[in-house]
Chains A and B, each alone.
Chain A
Amino acid sequence: MAFLKLPFKKQEKIKDFLLIEIGLEVVNMAKLTTDGGPKIQEVGSRNFSSVSEMFNASLEAIDELAGKTEEIPKKAIIGVSGGSIKTETTVAQYTRPNPKEPISGEEVAKVLEEVSGKGGFPGFKLFFSTIASATLDGTKVSNPIGLKGDKVALSCFIAYKDPEELAVFDKLINEIDMELEKIIPTSFAAAKMMLKKGDENALILRVGKGRCEATFLSKGHISEINRFDLGIGSPDLFLTGFEVVLEKLLKESAPELVWLYLDNQEIDAAELKEKLLEFDWKNAGLDRSPSVEVEEAAVKEVSEQVGLQALSTEAIE
């Protein structure tokens, strides 16, 4: 059986996907249709408190989804948060020998291949690599393929995970009899959403009851994704975790925005937002207080979470 396949141009492009968004403490299964723009049709959700519960929670979530929709797409895209993620962003700068030739997919793939070949973490397996952003002759572009230029800077984002965790995803895909399209770090998708809004220095926090995933956006590059085990359930203690990740970010740049989005719909970020607004930024080393925003889900009735929204956009790119 073939494992790599580029569909014929005549064949209809696959329009529907099953989005499996594995959050910090929740798993969402959503039907995504892409005809006329990405749209989340139905969602099935289940909370879990430990990684060992995640598998069963996923099966229950897809059962819920199956009860809401007539047909579940056969292609699945997994968005992951939490767990043992390690990421690195490398900006590859080079001068193109033939600036009049448009940048091809092959050229970009070669750069990614070279960059991913040089990095890595012991005991971790690469599962996602992409060009997060690019600069062409000083102009920032989201996708350089097809553009002509001389001086190129490609921001290569690479994510690694514990192979045992990846094996759980494989097992899940087999269990629900799906074809896996790709695995995307959800925080990366959320950060790209932020980049599109024009915020280049930000700290993006996905917060659950007892966990948090922090994504650093530094000078327009997604530099790192970190997690820690404190959440909205203990707002005072959470601030210590926040200080630790802030110190790491400050080594690169000062955030102009702290952007919170909730892991699931059952939690309320109002108190945490208050704490962050009262946070002593000067003591933490910032000259200017960043703004603090909480991103609300667009449609709460269908649990259409920020993670799902971000993933749905990233899935079709």
Chain B
Amino acid sequence: MKTLEFGPEATLSQILESMKAAEDENLEVSLPKGSTLLSNTINREIIEKFAKKIGKGVAVKSASLVGEEEPEDFDFVEGEDILAKKTLELGEGPVLAPSESLAEEPVESKKPSYAQQPPSKKPPSGPFKFLSGLKGRKKLLFFGAFGGTPLLILAFVFTWFLPSADVKITVEKDTKTNQITLTASAEATEVDVENRIVPLKVEEVTKSDVDEGEATGRLVVGTPAKGRVTIGNFSPHTSKKFEAGTTVKSISGLKQGLEFTLDTAVTVPKATFSGLTLVAGQVGVNTTAKKIGDEGNLPAGTEFQVGSEDVGTVKAVNDLAFTGGDSKEIAAVSEEDRKKLKEELLDKLSKEAKEELQQKLEGSTIPEGGLQVEVTKEKYDKAVGEEAKTFSLTLEVKATAKLFQEEDLKKVLVESIKPSVPEGFVVDEAGSTVGSEISQTEGEDVEILGKIKAVLIPDIKKDDLKKQLSGKNFGSAASHLQSLKNISGFEIEVKPGIFRIFKFMPFNASKINIVISEVKKDGE
């Protein structure tokens, strides 16, 4: 028999060609240990079939089996037929048949290290002495039973208590709105879902505060112009008498129409003739401008109409320019300023009062129109029109609220919407929002218009789902989740990360945490 030895890089076609070229009729094909060619049983079959075709006999051997030292003790190599293997390896018969198991079973090509240890020379003693009496499979069974039990317990603890999984399910939420009339009654002590009655409480609180506002009003202040005029009377028949306060009005110059008043009463004598010349009667008198400002500072020589006298008969003129007139604009408190500050402070006190009232009854809500606020004190430190940059208001209010528990309202509203919830959905009470407003008050009772925007989510029973997912492999868990109605997505995270390699959900259902998050349905 000729041995054909090949290296690890040899191809099957090279082997077949070498077989064909060999002159011997019986061949031994030897390949190195771990040859990938021989790990494939079909390649072995091809070698054998080809040998038959060319009329030769062939034995296929792996170098690891040729001349390898026999281990002395095979006792602990599980499931191995020692006698059969020894026979095969010693070549006590034709080795033409493909030894598939030898090629495929890794346990045979790589023996466990403990199987290769030389047997211990020390005789067994002590409580384990009986072990020496056990041989082969019995010994294996013993160690399997007593050595394996702690391992099994450890494996159980490891797989039962350690892994956990967070399953985040995204569901498509839907919303549905409804409104009903219900009664809030002071006489009721607990919610009556069937008759739509919720207990009502009336609470009162007094709040006060001081606030400061900015004065935005405008005030013009100053002094009027003053000056002296000479009134001339051109009537030769009568004298003219003018009371203090009589108006004189400018009728010449650039600033005509400005009005002044006489400071004192005067009588202007009648005109006289001096020869053929008529000499007017004259009297000097002080005047003051009716309006403040420098506009009244008229130049000398300005003519004036006195009272309602005809200027051809009586006329006044100033010999010296009027002076002293001036004005300026200053900030002052206006009515609007007061109103605005009051509104702001009232709003602030109302909100504080509402919060305080709701705190008095935890979880309560005040319907629209359920809070009445009465002003009991209102005091400003500056009058309207008073010069000031800022001013303050002291306000005190008494707030009275009709309130009830939001939970009671939600109970009644959720119950009212249940008949119209589609099959497979439940109302997500936590996500649903309610509102209310008083529609009518009858004595102690209040009729309320209650509104609900109910969030509808798929009816997923978490405990059942945990049991259904526990112990499933990832593929089945994913399929199960996908089969649930109205699920739009999910994520699973197994912790610690090392357990992901097993591709199984935790076997302990209580270690699975299910979190449901919602997304709006398409089109909303």
Residues on A facing B (Cβ under 8 Å)? 1-11, 50-51, 84, 104-106, 108-110, 112-113, 122-123, 129, 210, 226-230, 233-234, 237, 240-241, 243-245
Contact = CB atoms under 8 A, between A and B. Distances in A.
Contacts of B519: 8, 10
Contacts of A106: 476, 479-480, 482-483
B503 to A, nearest CB: 9
Closest CB pairs A-B (n = 10): A2-B491, A109-B479, A229-B12, A4-B492, A106-B483, A234-B13, A8-B489, A228-B42, A106-B479, A105-B479
Interface string B29-57: 00000001101101101100110010000
Contacts of B344: none
Contact of B476 (A50, A110, A122): A110
Interface in B437-480: 473-480
Contact of B488 (A10, A108, A230, A240): A10
B16 interface: yes
Interface string B485-520: 001111111100000100000000000000000010
B475 A230 contact: no
Contacts of A1: 493
Contact of B13 (A7, A122, A226, A233): A233
A1 B492 CA distance: 9
A317 to B, nearest CB: 16
B104 interface: yes
A240 B106 contact: no
B170 interface: yes
Given A210-B11, A229-B40, A243-B49, A9 B491 contact: no
Given A122-B104, A240-B46, A2 B16 contact: no
Nearest to B41: A226
A234 B11 CA distance: 11
A312 B488 CA distance: 26
Contacts of B46: 228, 230, 240-241, 244
B498 to A, nearest CB: 12
Contacts of B43: 228-229
Given A108-B479, A109-B480, A210-B11, 10 more contacts: A2-B168, A2-B492, A3-B500, A5-B490, A106-B479, A106-B482, A229-B12, A237-B13, A237-B16, A240-B16
A4 B477 contact: yes
Contacts of A104: 479, 483
A4 B478 contact: yes
Contact of A227 (B42, B53, B105, B172): B42
B522 interface: yes
12 contacts: A3-B493, A6-B478, A6-B482, A10-B519, A84-B40, A105-B483, A106-B479, A108-B479, A122-B105, A129-B475, A229-B43, A230-B46
A240 B46 CA distance: 6
A306 B479 CA distance: 31
Contacts of B280: none
B481 interface: yes
B42 A226 contact: yes
A7 B49 contact: no
A3 B488 contact: no
A272 B500 CA distance: 47
Contacts of B494: 3
A237 B50 contact: yes
Interface residues of B, number: 45
Contacts of A7: 489
B29 to A, nearest CB: 14
Contacts of B522: 9-10
A56 to B, nearest CB: 18
A105 B482 CA distance: 8
B192 to A, nearest CB: 42
A124 to B, nearest CB: 9
Contacts, number: 115
B484 to A, nearest CB: 9
A204 to B, nearest CB: 16
A10 B519 CA distance: 10
A228 B493 contact: no
Contacts of B36: 51
Contact of A229 (B37, B480, B483, B492): B37
Contacts of A230: 12-13, 16, 46
Contacts of A9: 172, 488-489, 522
A228 B104 contact: no
B315 to A, nearest CB: 95
A170 to B, nearest CB: 11
A51 B39 CA distance: 14
A2 B493 contact: yes
A113 B476 CA distance: 7
Nearest to A212: B42
B53 A112 contact: no
Contacts of B172: 9
B504 to A, nearest CB: 11
Contact of A8 (B13, B170, B477, B493): B170
Contacts of B475: 109, 112-113, 129
A95 to B, nearest CB: 21
Nearest to B481: A6
Contacts of A234: 13, 16
Contacts of A245: 42
Contact of A5 (B9, B12, B477, B489): B489
A32 to B, nearest CB: 23
Nearest to B522: A10
Contacts of B488: 8-10
B490 A229 contact: no
Q: Of residues A50, A233, A241, A245, which shows the largest number of chain B Cβ atoms within 10 Å of its Cβ?
A: A241
Nearest to A121: B104
A228 B40 contact: yes
A51 to B, nearest CB: 8
Q: Of residues A2, A4, A109, which shows the largest number of chain B Cβ atoms within 10 Å of its Cβ?
A: A4
Given A4-B474, A4-B492, A240-B53, A123 B104 contact: yes
B284 to A, nearest CB: 98
Contacts of A11: 489
A228 B39 CA distance: 11
B470 to A, nearest CB: 14
A233 B11 CA distance: 11
Nearest to A1: B493
A237 B11 CA distance: 12
A110 B53 CA distance: 48
Contacts of B487: 6
A106 B483 CA distance: 6
B493 A241 contact: no
B299 to A, nearest CB: 86
Contact of B491 (A4, A112, A228): A4
Nearest to A238: B13
Contacts of B42: 226-228, 241, 244-245
A229 B42 CA distance: 9
A307 B248 CA distance: 116
Q: Of residues A1, A8, A112, A123, which shows the largest number of chain B Cβ atoms within 10 Å of its Cβ?
A: A8
B348 to A, nearest CB: 44
B517 to A, nearest CB: 11
A6 B37 CA distance: 42
Contacts of B9: 50
Interface in B303-346: none
Contacts of A129: 475
Given A8-B489, A106-B476, A240 B482 contact: no
B170 to A, nearest CB: 6
